[in-house]
Amino acid sequence: MAFGIQSQHLSLAFLLLGMMVSQATSRTLQEASMQKRHEQWMARYGKVYSDPQEKEKRFNIFKQNVEYIEGINSAGTRPHKLGINQFADLTNEEFTASRNRFKGHMRSSIKKTPSFRYENVSDVPSSVDWRKQGAVTPIKNQGDCGCCWAFSAVAATEGITKLSTGKLISLSEQELVDCDTKGVDQGCEGGLMDDAFKFIMQNHGLNSEVNYPYKGVDGACNAKGEANHVATIKGYEDVPANNEQALQKAVANQPVSVAIDASGSDFQFYSSGIFTGSCGTELDHGVTAIGYGVSDDTEYWLVKNSWGTEWGEEGYIRMKRNVDAKEGLCGIAMEASYPTA
Active site residues: 148, 285, 305
Q: Which of 100, 143, 156 is nearest to 310 (CA)?
A: 143
Alpha helix positions (H), 46-112: 52-75, 92-99
Dihedral sign from CA coordinates of 215, 311, 261, 127: positive
Q: What is the rounded distance in angstroms from the CA atom of residue 177 to the CA atom of residue 157?
A: 15
Task: Tell me phi and psi for residue 307, to 5 degrees.
Answer: -115, 25
Q: Which of 325, 332, 320, 322 is nearest to 273 (CA)?
A: 320
At 286 the three-state DSSP class reads strand
CA dihedral 285, 288, 294, 298 (to 10 degrees): 10
DSSP 168: -
Give the chain's largest Cα–Cα span: 100
Q: Which of 102, 243, 110 is nearest to 183 (CA)?
A: 110
Task: Tell me phi and psi for residue 271, to 5 degrees.
Answer: -125, -45
Q: What is the rounded distance in angstroms from the CA atom of residue 34 to the CA atom of residue 156?
A: 41
Task: Tell me phi and psi for residue 244, to 5 degrees.
Answer: -65, -30
Q: What is the rounded distance in angstroms from the CA atom of residue 26 to the CA atom of residue 129?
A: 49
Q: How many CB atoms lie within 10 A of CB 253?
A: 18
Q: What is the rounded distance in angstroms from the CA atom of residue 2 to the CA atom of residue 17?
A: 22
Rounded to whole angstroms, what are the CA distances from 33 to 40, 48, 86, 89? Answer: 11, 20, 19, 16
